[in-house]
Structure formats: structure tokens, C-alpha cells
Chain A
Amino acid sequence: MLIEIAHFLSIVATGLFFLCFIFSIFFDSKDVYIINLVSRIYSHSFFIFLSSFLIYVWLAINDNFSVLYIAQHSNINLPVFYKISSIWSAHEGSMFLWIIFLTTWGVVYNFSTKNDQLLKARTLGIISLTSVGFLLFLLLTSNPFETILPLPPENGADINPVLQDPLLAIHPPMLYLGYVGFVIAFGQAIAFMLEGDPKIKWEKQVRSWSVASWSFLTLGIALGSWWAYYELGWGGYWFWDPVENVALMPWLAATAFIHSLSASSKSSILRIWTLLLSILVFSLSLFGAFIVRSGIIDSVHSFANDPERGLYLLSFIGILVMTSLLLFSLRFNLLISSKKIVSLSKESFISINNIFFGALIFSTMLGVLYPLIYEFIFDQKISVGAPFYNAIFVPVTLIACIFLYFSIDSKWQQSFNLKALYQPLFLSIIFSVIIVSLIFFQFSISGFWTLMSLTVGLIIIIRYLIVIYFYFAYKRFANFFSIISHCGLGLLIISIALNDNLSSERALNIKINETEIYKDHQITFTNLRVVPESNYDSVKADFLVTNPNGDTFTLTPEKRKYFARGQVTSETAIHASVLKDIYMTIGDQLDDGSWIVNIQFNIFIRWIWFSAIMMVVAGLLLVHSLARSKA
């Protein structure tokens, strides 16, 4: 009975959201009565939809296996935490979660925005429309409420063991929060263009929303990367898998967007960029959903291949993007700013870097779609791997960073004063060249791009350190949000370069009680244990590692065999220190009783995620400060 109620509530919510859209678009959206009405309908339909979702969570916790989806993806033996997270472990449920988040952003916007705000009704209308689009997709093509009647299974299948991981339970929600959060900016942009009044300052109103979504997106991607590192056993943090790429594209667009936004919320300069980017960010988020859901691209992430779903999403996204762009071209004359961008002003740097962001997005898109195009034309399967992306991303990012470096302490709408900045520019370059030369001789790092990356990363960080020094010593202006996030970027570039250049790995063939030596580390295979757990059996191998200083520690990689699906997975063992991770995985046992283990030294890898955290922290601090200045 509960299932039918939940299903029914979702249908009702869909209808109400549609009503919300109709009222906001076809009636006078400035009429206070209409705004109040739209706002109320929106909240009601949200709470109806939320109750539907909560009932669904309740069903999952209580192992109601008459729900087909829950029966297929949960299991009676799972801890409650995973029973809940099993909801977003596959297609239908994660779509459900996606829409919950989409509408939640809307309801928070609804409650935190006063009804006299000009664009409110139409923004809510656009949010409702996208929600309706996804709700119809959910109910028509991927219904999570489908039942198995009259005889439900007793135990349920299982959540994929690779996904039974606390991090993976929170990675998708964070990512989705980021993706769909841009619906606020998108909705406001469309509402602004519908209204057609260039005096409305929509950019100011969406800034905190967009930075918040950007922070979630950054966090979601970083968590996914961290999970892949320790769970998949390849020891890398980024694989240029199509699904990673479709998350990277909205991130790049969003990064460009929040930069343009900071310019256009001060003056109307860069307004066209900001509008176009707001449409782009949201479309790329939806495009990501399409790529993952349709299964048209071979990827480790792809959900079951279903052309019907793909077609639905593609048409939905297509209509949304086409309509937005049409509206944009109709309103183009209203958007042209009379002010010109002063060369070497902060705006000029932002617009140059927008071009670089655009180039990166375009290349990534090409890399994702090229295999499809190529196969269609030449009937030959191909894939685009890391070398292509490296060839594009490394030089473009470094050039963009050099522009960033020169933009530090530049002014809005004023050309920058090279003489005043001569000293900090000179100092930061000298210092970083000295440090890079030291690293070059100490660690015998070579390679033009590595050295370039180190230098560029360092000049950014040192330049900001000088800014901080001036702030404390002479009370000069310093924007700490910018400092933290850009130092994060500098650190990211340095970490990636060092990791790429210094990391190493080797496969060892080793028997119990034998010792091998790898890079001055003694590795002794001391013990092998079989440990039964609640839903799997585990084979644990203990290795005693002695590093060159004589310190010892134990690494215990393991292999698990899950009862429910008989699937075997490997768990890595990682010994983390400031500069390097020692990372072990265990492979198969050979006929002579020896085991194959893989040992990796992953240099500086932790700092990659740390730099992402810096960006997230900077973003959240900025949201906090924007919210305070508004109140």
C-alpha cells in the first residue's frame, strides 16, 4: 500500500509542478497575487514529492522487496546505511535522488527569497519545468515504484560490492547537489531574459547559489577521484573516463561562470559571457546525465544501455538548450553593454581565461564524442585516452595560469599599474625559479612540462603569499576566498606534476616469509589470514615494510568474496605520509603457492585532494560571507 501511495504522491507532485510553471509563465509574473500563488504551489508540491521520497527510503530501510528496484539493489544483511545508499546505487533510484535535490534547491530558493523579488515567480517556474521534465522521465521510463507481486523475494539481490563503501555513498549525492544546483542560476538567467529588463541585477542574486553549487561539484568530483584511487586498485586519481569527463565539463564551465559572475555582478560588463555560461553549465550538467544514463558510451560507470531513456533525455536537453539559446538571441540587443572592457583590467583577464576554459570544454567534449562520430563515419572503433587530454590540458592550463598570475592585484575596470606590481612579480618569479632548480637537482626531475608546471604552480602560490604579507604588514586589500582557492590551484598543478614524474610501481612475486626489496624498502610477507565477515569472506595478506630510516609498518591488502553475487573484489592497503603513499594490492596466487602483489609509490598524491578541499573551503567561505552581507 505504501508503495502505491509514494507513487501516487510523485504523480501529484508532477502535476502541481507543471501548474506552477503554467502560472508563472502565462500570467502576470509581477502580480503579487501570482507570485504568492506560485511560491505556495511550489512549496506544496515539493513537500508532497519529498514525502514520496521519504516513504521510499522507509521502504528501503525495512527491506520491502516487493519493490522491484529495492529487491534488485539491496539486501537483508546490509547495514542500514547501505540500505539507504543502495537507493542511489543504480539508475532509477539515483534519478529519484537527482530530482529530490533539484527541487530542494528550488525550495530553499523559494524560502530564502522575498516575494517582491522581480524574477522569483518565473525562476520558480523554470525550476518547476525542469523538475517536470525529469519527473516524467522517472515515471515513464525508469519507474522506481515498479513492484514484484504477488511473491516478493526474501533476501533481495545485493548492492554491487565495489559500491559498498562509505565514500561512495556520499560521492553521488555531493555530485548531484553540484550538478542540479545550477538550476537556480539557469532559472534566473531565463527569467531575466523573459523579463527583458536590462536594469535587473540578476547576477548579484545568483552568485551565492552558484558558488555553493560549484563547491558541491568540486567536492563531489574530488570524492569520486579519492574513491577510485583506493578502491579500484589502479593507484591513479583520474582516468579520463568518459563519465569523469562529463563531470569535468560542467565544472570547467561553472568555474568560468562564477568568475564571470563576480565581474558582471559589479557592473554589466561580461553580461553576455555570464548568460551564455549559465546556460552552458546547466546544459553540460544535463548532458552528463544523458551520457551516463543512455549508455551510448562505453565506460566503467555506464548504467544499463537503454536507447529509450537516452532518446528522452536527449530530446529534453535539446529542447531546453534550443529554447534558451533562441531566447538569448532574441534578447541579444538588450544585453550589449555600452561599457568597454578596459585592457589589462580584471575583466579583461577573466574574459581571456573564459576563452581558455571554453577551449578545454570543447576539447573534452570532442574527446568524449569523437569515438561515436568516428565509428559512425569509418566503422572503426576507437577510444581517446589520456595522451590526448594531457596534450591539450597541460599547455592550456599553464597558459591560463600565467594570465591568472598577472591578474593578481589587477583592478575592476582599470588598467593595471605594472610599476606598482613590479616588485611582487619579480620576487615571485625569482623565488620559484630557485625552488624549481633545487627540486631539479635534488630529485633529478626532468621534462619541460613538469618543470614548467612546477614553476607556474609556485609563482601563483608565492605571489599570493606576498599579497598576504602586504595585507598583514601594510593593511593592503586581500581577497582571501581568491587566495585560498587559487593557491589550491597552484598546489594542484604542483602535485600533479610531481606525482606524474616521481611515482613508480612494480609487481612482485612473493611467497610467505620471503623478503623483497623495492627502492630501499624491505617488504616481508608475514602472514595470510582468512577472515569471515557478515556478507563476505576476506583473505588478508600482511606485509611488514621497513623503510630506509628503519621504521616499520604493516600493510594488509585483501581480497573479498561476496556471498550474494559471488563477486571477488580487491581492497588496497595504503600507508600514507606527507610526501608519499605506499600503496599495495594483491593479485592471484600462482600454482607454486606464491602471490603476485603490486606495490606503488605514489608521490605527493594526497595534496591533489587537499588542493581540491582548499577550493571547496574557499567556495563555502565565500557563500557564507555573501549570505551575511545580504542579511
Chain B
Amino acid sequence: MKAIRKQRLATVFLILTTSALGSFLIIRALDSNLDFFFTPSELFLENIPNNKRIKVGGMVLDGSVTRDKTNISFVITDYEGSINVEFDGIVPDLFKEGSGVVVLGYLKDKTVIAEDVLAKHDENYMPPSIDIKN
């Protein structure tokens, strides 16, 4: 009986340590791979290192879109602050001035160098944080 108990205890101990170790590794991987979401006005309140991937959401400012060959630059605003965005490539069909957009990229000299520009499938979409303020 004692031997069985010892064995069981060892098994339980083994399971607990491996799952603790596993969870620790997973959460570490999670923490180093998060994309933080900001609105333009929040962006300058924080000190964001330029190797940190971020998401910025807001509205494309009217009249701010300029293009040069395949590059496009525009301003995202939440009507309290705004930020320049530069992107090389094709923007989605729903991207237009005065409508909602989310960009994924890195901050560099007060400009977001975007890797991805996302406009939502729904044309009535508003980034959630702006929805509340207006």
C-alpha cells in the first residue's frame, strides 16, 4: 500500500511540475509576443520602444492620404491626437478617408511604419475606443 502511495505521489508531483513548467513557458511566449493596441492620443502618453510591434486604430483623416509609387502615407486620428502612417503595398478595398482603420507596425520618429493595414469587413465599423468617446 505504501509503495503504491509513494508512486502516486510521485506521479502527481511529476504532472504538477511539468504542467507548471509548460504553462510558464507558454505564458512567457505569450508575453513577449503581444501586440498592444493604441489610439493616436494614447500613443504619446506611453514610451514605446521602436522594436515593439503595436496596433494603432482610428479614423483616416480626410485629405491626408498621399501616394508615391507603391508607398502610401496617411494620418490616423481619434480627434484628440493623430499619427502619421507609412505603408508600402496595397491597402484593403474598404480603406478610405474618413473611415476606420487599424494598422500593425513599428513606431519610428513619430511615424508608424506599417506592416499591415486592416480595414474591417463591415463598412460601418468603428474602432471600439473611438466609439465610446464620440
Where the two chains meet, the residues of A that have a C-beta atom closer than 8 Å to any C-beta of B are 160, 162, 233, 298, 300, 359, 362-363, 366-367, 370, 374, 380-385, 387-388, 391-392, 507-509, 559, 567-570, 585-588, 590-591, 596-598
* A363 surroundings in chain B (CB, below 8 A): 26, 29-30
Residue of A507, A586, A590 with highest tally of chain B CB at under 10 A:
A507
Q: A588-B90, A596-B89 are in contact. List 9 more A-B contacts (CB 8 A).
A: A160-B121, A300-B120, A363-B26, A366-B26, A381-B38, A384-B33, A567-B93, A590-B67, A596-B90
Residue of B nearest to A232 (CB): B92
Partner of B123, one of A367, A385, A567, A570: A567
Is the Cβ of B33 less than 8 Å from the Cβ of A383? no
Is the Cβ of B26 less than 8 Å from the Cβ of A587? no
Q: Using an 8 Å CB-CB cutoff, how does the interface string of B21-63 with A read, 1 for contact, 0 for none?
A: 0110011011001111110000000000000010100000000
- Given that A382-B36, A383-B35, A385-B35 are known contacts, is A588 also in contact with B26, CB under 8 Å in the complex? no
13 chain-A/chain-B pairs, Cβ below 8 angstroms: A362-B26, A363-B26, A370-B30, A387-B33, A388-B29, A388-B30, A507-B70, A507-B90, A568-B94, A586-B90, A588-B67, A596-B89, A598-B90
A586 CA to B120 CA, complexed, in Å:
19
- Distance in Å from the Cβ of B113 to the closest Cβ of chain A? 15
Is the Cβ of B93 less than 8 Å from the Cβ of A596? no
A469 CA to B129 CA, complexed, in Å:
62
Is the Cβ of A300 less than 8 Å from the Cβ of B121? yes
- Distance in Å from the Cβ of A171 to the closest Cβ of chain B? 16
Where the two chains meet, the residues of B that have a C-beta atom closer than 8 Å to any C-beta of A are 22-23, 26-27, 29-30, 33-38, 53, 55, 67, 69-70, 88-94, 104, 120-121, 123, 128-129
Is the Cβ of B34 less than 8 Å from the Cβ of A508? no
Is the Cβ of B33 less than 8 Å from the Cβ of A385? yes
Is the Cβ of B67 less than 8 Å from the Cβ of A507? no
Partner of A596, one of B30, B55, B70, B120: B70
* A392 surroundings in chain B (CB, below 8 A): 26, 29
Residue of A363, A508, A569 with highest tally of chain B CB at under 10 A:
A363
Number of A-B pairs, beta carbon distance below 8 Å? 84
Is the Cβ of B35 less than 8 Å from the Cβ of A382? yes
Partner of B36, one of A380, A559, A585, A590: A380
Is the Cβ of B70 less than 8 Å from the Cβ of A508? yes
Partner of B93, one of A359, A370, A569: A569
A333 CA to B127 CA, complexed, in Å:
52
Is the Cβ of A162 less than 8 Å from the Cβ of B30? no
* B94 surroundings in chain A (CB, below 8 A): 568
Residue of A nearest to B89 (CB): A507
Is the Cβ of A367 less than 8 Å from the Cβ of B89? no
- Distance in Å from the Cβ of B38 to the closest Cβ of chain A? 8
* B55 surroundings in chain A (CB, below 8 A): 381, 383
Partner of A381, one of B27, B33, B36: B36
- Distance in Å from the Cβ of A472 to the closest Cβ of chain B? 42
* B37 surroundings in chain A (CB, below 8 A): 380-383
A374 CA to B35 CA, complexed, in Å:
12
